[in-house]
Amino acid sequence: MVWLNKIFGAGAVAAKPKPQFVAPAALPEPLPEPAPTPEPPPLLEPVAPQQPLVKSATKTDSASRSELTRQLSEICLASGRELSPREHDLFFDILRHLLHKIEMQVRQSIAERLAERADAPHDILMQLANDQIEVAFPILVKSKILQDADLVELILNKTQSHQKAITKREKISLAVSETLVSTGDAEVVCALLENDGAEILPETLARLANESLEVESYCGPLLRRSDLKPELAQRMYTWVGEALRSYIDDHYEWAEDAVEEAMSIAIAEAVETDWLDEANVVNFEDYAGAAQYEPDEANLIHALSDADIFRFEETFRELSGLNNSAVTRLLYDSGPEALATAFKAINIDRKAFSEIFCHLRGSRPYEAFVRSPMHEKAMAYYDGLPFEEAERLMDGWRRSTEEDEPAYQTAG
């Protein structure tokens, strides 16, 4: 037991006195050969590796400290066995003293062993949670000793990797979820949304659903959440891609009428953002030769080329049958899919739509914009959308604007 005295201090274990040898007066007669004794049963626990521990305890370099800590953790934490009160206090006191002096690989091993232990001290867990992510990860994901206040502090002060690790916890409270969302980091928010064990406020889900119009990566995780209200999924139907529309069709009973209802909601909101009133609209009768003027594809292109935005809007309004508010919102506030739908529904061919889309969403030189992801997305949607489906969508938009016509007349 000398090794324990060297590690934990002299006097930890008392040494037994050595027996004194006394020579016999005469040699006795030889004793008969003793009968063989059975082998003792194996020990339930292996004998502690005394010599390596003694050797490590007498050195102060980082490698020796790491080896000492590693071997002590093997002895005290092996198989998750329960420590006696004295063992618990002694081991963790040593760990507090050495934790900041040992190698990362050893800290990582200790973190993995402590992550699910109910008797791990809070201060040591927080020290590990604030470490590099390779060390902190198991603590952030698994430790139930960390409280909401601890997690909020870590989210606000540590790296994106620490934040994403916290999103993988089995259960996440509202307070922790709100803090994660407040980071504004799309990767962190997506990771949170993908966790069914995360509690998220309904108003936060609604805000993220609105933001998914611009942050496309939110769409899939939002739609797959069981707590997303159907009306939010219905609203998102108007801007998500085909794969997610198919998902909505398969998982929501109202999906057959989703397009018309969703577009009604979107168009109705145009009242709140409408800046174009009847006094600002240029009618065809205001143009020379109005009797011969016909709204068509060529006039749309000419109006854009001439930078005559009012004529372009009026031509599109005549072709689409939408009112002023709906036209304004569709042309300037909608995504590429909605534009592709609208122009396909009024029989604008692919080449003309590409040119119109460049004018509405692109920047010069347009030759570069046509190779951009936004342009490619719009054209891919245009190509994949059947004309009949585009017409059905447009009919829904028209019905929406007809129902909301009194409100539009009073806007602005």
Q: What is the pLDDT of residues 99-155, one digit of tens each?
A: 888 888 888 888 998 999 888 999 999 999 999 999 999 999 999 999 999 999 999
> Percentage of residues in the chain with pLDDT exceeding 70?
66
Task: Provide mean pLDDT across the span 153-181.
Answer: 97
CA atoms lying within 13 Å on the CB side of residue 32 = 3
Q: What is the pLDDT of residue 76?
A: 60
Mean pLDDT for the chain? 75
Q: What is the pLDDT of residue 46?
A: 42
Confidence label for 242 from pLDDT (cuts 50, 70 and 90)? confident
End-to-end CA distance of the chain: 91
Q: Quote the CA–CA distance of 368 and 72 in Å, as a whole number.
A: 64
Give the pair of three-digit tokens for residue 60: 């102060």
Query: pTM for the full model?
Result: 0.53
Strand partners, 148: none
Q: Which of 324, 287, 285, 294 lies closest to 308 in space, CA to CA?
A: 287
Please compute Rg for the chain using Cα positions. 37
Q: What's the angle, vertex CA 304, arms to CA 303 and CA 305, rounded to 5? A: 95
372-401, pLDDT tens digit by residue? 888 888 899 899 889 998 888 888 888 766
Q: Quote the CA–CA distance of 240 and 216 in Å, as a whole number.
A: 8
CA atoms lying within 13 Å on the CB side of residue 382 = 25
Q: What is the pLDDT of residue 88?
A: 78
Q: Which of 159, 126, 166, 123 lies closest to 142 in space, CA to CA?
A: 166
- 57 vs 241, higher pLDDT: 241
Q: Which of 2-16, 188-202, 380-394, 395-409 has the highest mean pLDDT?
A: 188-202
86-98, pLDDT tens digit by residue? 877 887 888 888 8
361-373, pLDDT tens digit by residue? 776 667 777 888 8
Q: What is the pLDDT of residue 28?
A: 56
Give the pair of three-digit tokens for residue 5: 């005295």
Q: What is the pLDDT of residue 412?
A: 30
320-371, pLDDT tens digit by residue? 888 887 888 788 777 788 889 999 998 889 998 988 888 877 766 677 778 8
Residues ≥6 apart with Cβ < 8 Å to 40? none
Task: Provide mean pLDDT across the span 286-294.
Answer: 46
- 322 vs 78, higher pLDDT: 322
- 275 vs 40, higher pLDDT: 40
Confidence check: pLDDT of 157 > 70: yes
Confidence check: pLDDT of 263 > 90: no
Q: Quote the CA–CA distance of 230 and 225 in Å, as a whole number.
A: 11
